[in-house]
A = this chain, B = another copy of it.
Amino acid sequence: MLIEATGRDTASLFAALGDRTRLSLLTKLSDGKTRSIAGLSAGTDLTRQAVTKHLRVLEEAGLVISSKVGRESQFAFRPEPIDEIRAYLDSVSQQWGDALSRLQAFVET
């Protein structure tokens, strides 16, 4: 199936990563440890609410998953969407590589 170049929600995935705060949250969580909202807000100059909103964005993008444990909700990294991004990058750079090859073949002919 020759996918349409721009995968359905690839853009929203990139968009979810297109924010320093979210990128930082995701980086923290990428160590596999689970963290609460308060835990993730600590050390930040942001409000809990702000962090909450960012986490929701990450969750809707599938980059993070949450579950309530007692009175707090624990967030965990979810690596699957990363592969989708890699797939897009690969498709783009493969096209580019092909173009280079053809160019080189042309020059060498």
Contacts and interface: CB of A to CB of B under 8 A. Distances in A.
Copy tally for this chain in the complex stands at 2
A38 interface: no
Interface residues of A, number: 40
A6 interface: yes
Contact of A82 (B23, B26, B33, B93): B93
Nearest to A99: B32
Given A5-B24, A18-B15, A23-B6, A32 B96 contact: yes
B5 A95 contact: no
Contacts of A24: 5-6
Contacts of A20: 6, 9, 11
Contact of A99 (B33, B100, B102): B33
Interface string A17-32: 1111001101110111
Contact of A18 (B17, B31, B99, B100): B17
Contacts of A27: 5-6, 91-92, 95
Interface in A79-109: 79, 82, 85-86, 88-89, 91-93, 95-96, 98-100, 102-103
